[in-house]
């Protein structure tokens, strides 16, 4: 698979990574552990080298799963995890943020133990904490970098002013946020900023949380425990309105002999060499389908056509 660089860290990773969250959390019933581990192992066989998790996924169980799956394979992969987002209530799901230096330091040590590794390759602050200056949070991340606990620093879901303040304190190698054919908020300002500052951009939900694959035509089959159950874009009216995006993708996919998921991922990959999508899956079939998207070359006309797709109906959250 094509390789791309994690910004200023110069760590080389596969152009498509694997988001592991859904194996344990958020999207319906967690995967069987044996199946999840087989997906991770197959990803490595297919050339995937970037694996993404976080302490909040589960919480904590996803890191343990990923650590178990990567036992004996650590030297073949780049491992990313996150801190700073804490589940404060489960039904309904609610979070609180903690970007304090003491918390970041303790969270890193806990993640190292759960993952059963000596160093985390890419460590993110999952969300900036409005009650803690970003300078303080980045100072703690820098100390972890200098101590050899982590190899690169990442941020997630940051606006430009916060990024500017953060990068003045410590090097940022990666920024994670949402980017897909139905979420293009990062394109006007964030993507150019990342390119200018040698920061990799890692899109989560590049398949629109599964909607862009064309397999979701109503919300009838979405379980109440699924994150999407209450998501505005997965309500009946929005699903019906957003079907026009799927229809357009389907037409290009049919012409190229590809799947909707592959076209959607190919579009994300085409947004720049610093863009490294991390589609998540807990199924071997979808893993292999997603990885094959790295070989698809969209024509300028295809890209222009996809760029002109209408804005999605419904807010992200």
Strand-pair partners of 89: 94
pTM, rounded to two decimals:
0.96
Active-site position among 27, 57, 123, 124 = 57
CA distance 226 to 209: 11
CA distance 51 to 62: 11
pLDDT at 23: 96
Q: SS3 for the chain, per residue?
A: CCEEECHHHCCEEECCCEECHHHCCCCCCCCCHHHHHHHHHHHHHCCCCEEECCCCCCCCHHHHHHHHHCCCCHHHCEEEEEECEEEEECCCCEEEECCCHHHHHHHHHHHHHHHCCCCECEEEECCCCCCCCHHHHHHHHHHHHHCCCECCEEEECCCHHHHHHHHCCCCCCEEEEECECCECCCCCCHHHHHHHCCCEEEEECCCCCCHHHCCCCCCCCCCCCCHHHHCHHHCHHHHHHHHHHHHHHHHHHHHHCCCHHHHHHHHHHCCCCCECCCCECCCHHHHHHHHHHHHCCCCHHHHHHHHCCCCCCCCCC
- Concerning whether 57 is annotated as a catalytic residue, the answer is yes
Block means of pLDDT (10 residues each) for the chain, 317 residues, are: 95 98 89 95 98 96 98 97 93 90 98 98 98 98 98 98 98 98 96 98 97 92 87 94 96 97 98 97 97 96 96 92
Residues 6 or more apart from 165 whose CB is under 8 A from it?
134, 135
CA distance 134 to 128: 7
pLDDT at 90: 80
In the chain, what are the domains? 3-208+271-296 (3.20.20.100)
CA distance 26 to 293: 24
pLDDT at 28: 80
Question: Phi, psi (5° rounding) for residue 251?
Answer: -65, -40
């Amino acid at each position: 698979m094509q390789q791309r660089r994690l910004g200023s860290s110069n760590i080389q990773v596969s152009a498509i990574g694997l988001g592991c969250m859904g194996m344990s959390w958020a999207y319906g019933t967690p995967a069987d552990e044996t199946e999840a581990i087989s997906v991770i192992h197959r990803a490595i066989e297919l050339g995937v080298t970037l694996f993404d998790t976080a302490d909040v996924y589960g919480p904590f169980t996803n890191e343990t799963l990923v650590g178990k799956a990567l036992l004996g394979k650590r030297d073949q992969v780049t491992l990313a995890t996150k801190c700073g987002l804490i589940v404060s209530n489960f039904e309904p799901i609610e979070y609180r943020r903690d970007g304090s230096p003491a918390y970041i330091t303790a969270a890193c040590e806990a993640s190292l133990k759960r993952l059963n590794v000596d160093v985390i390759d890419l460590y993110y602050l999952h969300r900036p904490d409005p009650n803690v200056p970003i300078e303080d949070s980045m100072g703690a991340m820098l100390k972890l970098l200098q101590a050899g606990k982590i190899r690169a620093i990442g941020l997630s879901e940051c606006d430009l002013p916060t990024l500017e303040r953060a990068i003045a304190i410590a090097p940022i190698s990666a920024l994670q946020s949402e980017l897909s054919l139905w979420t293009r908020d990062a394109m006007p300002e964030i993507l150019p900023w990342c390119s200018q500052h040698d920061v990799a951009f890692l899109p989560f939900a590049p398949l629109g949380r599964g909607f862009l694959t064309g397999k979701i035509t109503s919300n009838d089959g979405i379980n109440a425990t699924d994150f999407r159950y209450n998501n505005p874009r997965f309500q009946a009216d929005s699903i019906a309105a957003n079907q026009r995006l799927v229809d357009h993708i389907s037409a290009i996919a049919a012409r190229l002999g590809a799947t909707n998921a592959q076209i959607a991922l190919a579009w994300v990959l085409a947004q720049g060499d610093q863009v490294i999508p991390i589609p998540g899956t807990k199924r071997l079939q979808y893993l292999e389908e997603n990885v094959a998207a790295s070989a698809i070359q969209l024509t300028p006309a295809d890209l222009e056509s996809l760029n002109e797709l209408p804005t999605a109906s419904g807010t992200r959250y």
